Structure 1
Amino acid sequence: MKFQNIILRNTNLFLFVFLNLVNLVVHAQQDTLYYNNNWKLTVKDSAAYFRPPVQKQGSLYKIEDYYSSGQLQMRGMSTKSDNNLWQGEVTWYNEDGSVLQQATYNNGKLEGKYISYLNDKRLEAVFKNGRIISGKTNGKWLKNRRYYQEVRGDTVVNIIYENDINGARFERYSLGSHRDKLVKYYDHHGKFIGQRELLHKGNFRGLEVFYYETPMRPMQIIYYPNGKRLGSTFFYCNNQVREQFNMENELSKTYFSPDGKKIGKIEYSLKNDVLRAANGRKITFFSNYNKDKTELIRSIREYSNSKLKKDEQFYENQNLKSKTIYTDGKKELQISYNEAGQEIARMVYNNWNPVEGTEIIGNGSKTYKDGKLVKELNYYQDTNLIFSRKTSDLEIYYNKNGEELGRLILKDDNGYQKPTDGYRYFIDREGDIRSEELYSNGYRVSITSYYSRRVAENVTKKFKTIELTEPDSFKKNREQRFYSNGVMQSDIKFSGYTETLGTFYNKQGEKIGEYDYKAKDGKLFVFFRNSDQLKSKAVFKNGKQLSLKRYDYGIQSKYGEINPVLVEDIDITCCAKFYTRNGELIAEAIYKDGKPWEGQIYDPQIRTKYTIAKGVRHGAYKKYDYNHNVLESGNFVEDKADGLFTYYDYSGNILKKETYKNGLLEGLASYYDKNGKLLSEMSYKADKPMDGTRIVQLTFNGVETNQTFANGELVQSIYSDDKGKRLAFYENGTQVKGIAYYGDTNNKRFSYRLKGRNLHGEVVRYNKEGKAEYKAVFDDGKLKEGGVLLNANGIKGKPEYMILERDLGTVKVRLMGQNNKVLLKAEEVLTFGTATVFIQNLNIYINNIKPEDLY
Structure 2
Amino acid sequence: MKTLFTTLFLIVNCSILSKAQNDTIWFDKDWNQSTKQNASFYRPPLEKEGDLYKMKDYYIDGSLQMNGTSRFKDSVHLEGKAVWYSQNGKVNQEETYKNNTLDGVAIYYRENSKDLSREITYDMGKTISDVRFDKNRDGIRYKRYYEDGRIVKTDYYGSEGKFIGTYYESEDEYQNGNGKRVTYYNDPMSVKIIEVFENGGQLYFDAFYKNGNKQVSFNDTKLQEIFYNPEGQQIGVIQYTREDGLLYYQEGETFDFYYNGIIKSKTTYADGYQTSHKEFSLTGVLVREEFYEENETIKIVSYTNEGKKIGVYEEKNGKRNGTIRTKDNRIITYEDNLVQKAIIPYRMTKKVFASLENSQITFYDSTGNVLGRLTVELEEGEFRLHQLENSAYLPRPIEGTLFEKNYNDEITDELVFEEGKKRSESRYIFYQGKTYKETLFYNENEEFHKSISYFSNGEVKSIIHYLEGTTGIKTAAIFFDKSGKKLSEYDYKTNTGTIYKYFPQSDFPKSIIEKENDKTLTQKRYERYYDTDLKENKVVLREDIDYNGEAKFYSREGELIAEATYKNGEPTGTLYSLGRHEFIEYKKGKKHGKSISYEEDEKTIQNEGNYKNGEKHGTFTYSSYGIKQKTVNYKNGQKEGYVISYDKKGNETARLLYKNNEPYEGTHIDFYGKGKVYKEGEIIKEFSKNADLTIETSYSSEDETSTIVYDKSNQKVLSYTERNGQLQDTLYHYKNNDIAYNAVFEKGYLIDGSVWVTHNNGFQAESYAHLHRDGDSITIKTYNEENEMSFEGTVNIGLYKNYSERIVKLKLGHSLYVRPSQLFLKAYETNVF
1:45 is matched with none
- 1:787: how far off? 3.7
Evaluate the alpha carbon distance shift between residue 5 and residue 64 of structure 1 in structure 2; reply closer, same or farther with a 3 A threshold. Answer: closer
Partner Cα separation in structure 2 for residue 256 and residue 167 of structure 1: 39
Evaluate the alpha carbon distance shift between residue 8 and residue 638 of structure 1 in structure 2; reply closer, same or farther with a 3 A threshold. Answer: farther
Evaluate the alpha carbon distance shift between residue 337 and residue 581 of structure 1 in structure 2; reply closer, same or farther with a 3 A threshold. Answer: farther
| Residues 208-357 of structure 1 mapped to structure 2, 5 A cutoff | 236-237=183-184, 257=207, 263=218, 279-280=246-247
1:83 is matched with none
- Contact 2:323/2:331 (<8 A) preserved: no
Partner Cα separation in structure 2 for residue 730 and residue 246 of structure 1: 58
1:484 pairs with 2:456: yes
1:164 is matched with 121
- Contact 1:811/1:827 (<8 A) preserved: yes
1:191 is matched with 146
More deviation, 816-825/379-388: 816-825
- Contact 2:429/2:435 (<8 A) preserved: yes
1:383 is matched with 349
Partner Cα separation in structure 2 for residue 616 and residue 578 of structure 1: 18
1:716 is matched with 685
1:502 is matched with 477
What one-letter code is carried by the residue in structure 1 that aligns with 2:183?
Answer: Y
More deviation, 751-760/322-331: 322-331
Partner Cα separation in structure 2 for residue 294 and residue 779 of structure 1: 73
1:407 is matched with 373
Partner Cα separation in structure 2 for residue 469 and residue 421 of structure 1: 15
- 1:600: how far off? 0.8
1:751 pairs with 2:716: no
Partner Cα separation in structure 2 for residue 312 and residue 779 of structure 1: 72
1:763 pairs with 2:731: yes
Evaluate the alpha carbon distance shift between residue 815 and residue 26 of structure 1 in structure 2; reply closer, same or farther with a 3 A threshold. Answer: closer
2:824 is matched with 854
More deviation, 835-844/399-408: 835-844
Partner Cα separation in structure 2 for residue 295 and residue 781 of structure 1: 68
1:217 is matched with none
- Contact 2:262/2:282 (<8 A) preserved: yes
1:214 is matched with none
Deviations 1:313-360 (A, max 9, x none): 897789998788999997777777888999977765679996776262
1:115 pairs with 2:77: yes
- Contact 1:6/1:16 (<8 A) preserved: no
- Contact 1:608/1:622 (<8 A) preserved: yes
- Contact 1:790/1:803 (<8 A) preserved: yes
- 1:417: how far off? 3.3
- 1:806: how far off? 3.6
Pick aligned residue for 1:362 from 328, 334, 337: 328
Identity of aligned residues (%): 23
1:469 pairs with 2:469: no
Evaluate the alpha carbon distance shift between residue 682 and residue 788 of structure 1 in structure 2; reply closer, same or farther with a 3 A threshold. Answer: same
Partner Cα separation in structure 1 for residue 306 and residue 175 of structure 2: 35
What one-letter code is carried by the residue in structure 1 that aligns with 2:757?
Answer: L
Evaluate the alpha carbon distance shift between residue 595 and residue 621 of structure 1 in structure 2; reply closer, same or farther with a 3 A threshold. Answer: same
1:665 pairs with 2:639: yes
- 1:845: how far off? 3.0
Deviations 1:129-166 (A, max 9, x none): xxxxxx942479xx9999xxxxxxxxxxxxxx964214
Partner Cα separation in structure 2 for residue 245 and residue 787 of structure 1: 47
Deviations 1:52-106 (A, max 9, x none): 9xxxxxxxxxx99624784566xxxxxxxxxxxxxxxxxxx50xxx5357552xx
2:229 is matched with none
- 1:836: how far off? 4.4
Evaluate the alpha carbon distance shift between residue 695 and residue 486 of structure 1 in structure 2; reply closer, same or farther with a 3 A threshold. Answer: same
- 1:560: how far off? 8.3
Q: Secondary structure at the match of 1:635?
A: strand
Q: Secondary structure at the match of 1:851?
A: helix
Deviations 1:507-537 (A, max 9, x none): 1100011111231111111111111122211
Pick aligned residue for 1:436 from 414, 421, 424: 414
What one-letter code is carried by the residue in structure 1 that aligns with 2:352?
Answer: I
1:730 is matched with 699
Partner Cα separation in structure 1 for residue 557 and residue 591 of structure 2: 26
Partner Cα separation in structure 2 for residue 396 and residue 338 of structure 1: 22
Pick aligned residue for 1:804 from 771, 786, 789: 771
1:76 is matched with none
- 1:778: how far off? 3.0
Deviations 1:725-772 (A, max 9, x none): 433332334462323455x553444333223333333334445x5565
Q: Secondary structure at the match of 1:627?
A: coil
- 1:616: how far off? 1.0
TM-score under structure 1 length normalisation: 0.68
Partner Cα separation in structure 2 for residue 280 and residue 371 of structure 1: 37
Q: Secondary structure at the match of 1:530?
A: coil
- 1:673: how far off? 0.6
Q: Secondary structure at the match of 2:696?
A: strand
- Contact 1:34/1:51 (<8 A) preserved: no
2:112 is matched with none
1:840 is matched with 810
Evaluate the alpha carbon distance shift between residue 543 and residue 68 of structure 1 in structure 2; reply closer, same or farther with a 3 A threshold. Answer: closer
- Contact 1:356/1:368 (<8 A) preserved: yes
Evaluate the alpha carbon distance shift between residue 402 and residue 568 of structure 1 in structure 2; reply closer, same or farther with a 3 A threshold. Answer: same
Evaluate the alpha carbon distance shift between residue 374 and residue 630 of structure 1 in structure 2; reply closer, same or farther with a 3 A threshold. Answer: same
- 1:670: how far off? 1.1
Evaluate the alpha carbon distance shift between residue 832 and residue 377 of structure 1 in structure 2; reply closer, same or farther with a 3 A threshold. Answer: farther
TM-score under structure 2 length normalisation: 0.70
More deviation, 710-719/733-742: 733-742
1:5 pairs with 2:18: no
2:386 is matched with none
Unaligned runs of 5+ in 2: 19-24, 45-54, 84-97, 110-117, 129-141, 155-166, 221-243, 382-393, 826-833
Evaluate the alpha carbon distance shift between residue 745 and residue 232 of structure 1 in structure 2; reply closer, same or farther with a 3 A threshold. Answer: farther
Partner Cα separation in structure 1 for residue 355 and residue 598 of structure 2: 58
Partner Cα separation in structure 2 for residue 812 and residue 708 of structure 1: 40
| Residues 313-712 of structure 1 mapped to structure 2, 5 A cutoff | 358=324, 360-390=326-356, 393-411=359-377, 417-454=395-432, 460-473=433-446, 475-495=447-467, 496=470, 497-556=472-531, 561-596=536-571, 598-628=572-602, 629-650=604-625, 652-696=626-670, 703-712=672-681
- Contact 1:828/1:839 (<8 A) preserved: no
- 1:426: how far off? 1.2
CA RMSD of aligned residues (A): 5.2
Deviations 1:94-136 (A, max 9, x none): 0xxx5357552xxxxx6xxx53114589xxxxxxxxxxxxx94
- 1:712: how far off? 1.0
- 1:853: how far off? 5.2
Q: Secondary structure at the match of 2:77?
A: strand
Partner Cα separation in structure 1 for residue 305 and residue 511 of structure 2: 55
- Contact 1:347/1:358 (<8 A) preserved: yes
- Contact 1:684/1:690 (<8 A) preserved: yes
1:20 is matched with 27
- Contact 2:311/2:324 (<8 A) preserved: yes
- Contact 2:513/2:524 (<8 A) preserved: yes
Partner Cα separation in structure 2 for residue 302 and residue 815 of structure 1: 49
- 1:633: how far off? 0.6
Partner Cα separation in structure 2 for residue 851 and residue 169 of structure 1: 37
Deviations 1:415-474 (A, max 9, x none): 6633222211111233221111112222221111111111xxxxx11111111123222x
By relative contact order (CA 8 Å, sep 6+), the higher-ranking structure is: 1
What one-letter code is carried by the residue in structure 2 that aligns with 1:807?
Answer: D
